[in-house]
Amino acid sequence: MSSKNKKPKAVIVPIEIPDHLKDKVNPLKNRILFLSPSVIDGEERECRKDDFESLASTNIGVGGFGKVYKVRHKVSKNVFAIKVINKKKILEHDLVE
């Protein structure tokens, strides 16, 4: 693809967190994903890594942008597969709209 046909890189504008929600969200340098409606409405706080316990000594899968882990939520005891994504790779490949 020639440089004339390349699409311009997206400009990433970090999401601003309202002051009244700062204690309910994770402290991130550059937030590129939106908050869930239940967090915005103050119904619950954002999930944290510490809310889960790992059920496997290693990852259960690998993808192009991260690894997948089998975890259990400490309170509800529900089991989930969580994909840990490398934000730098997402930004390098211009996959944010």
Nearest CA to 17 out of 37, 40, 38 is that of 40
Write down the pTM of the prediction. 0.57
Distance CA 25, CA 44 (A): 10
CATH 3.30.200 fits 48-97, yes or no: yes
**Is it the case that residue 15 has pLDDT exceeding 90?**
no
Q: Residue 78 — pLDDT band, cuts 50, 70, 90?
A: very high
**Is it the case that residue 14 has pLDDT exceeding 80?**
no
**Is it the case that residue 16 has pLDDT exceeding 60?**
yes
Q: Residue 36 — pLDDT band, cuts 50, 70, 90?
A: confident
Distance CA 54, CA 35 (A): 24
Distance CA 86, CA 68 (A): 12
Domain boundaries, the chain: 9-46, 48-97
**Is it the case that residue 32 has pLDDT exceeding 70?**
no
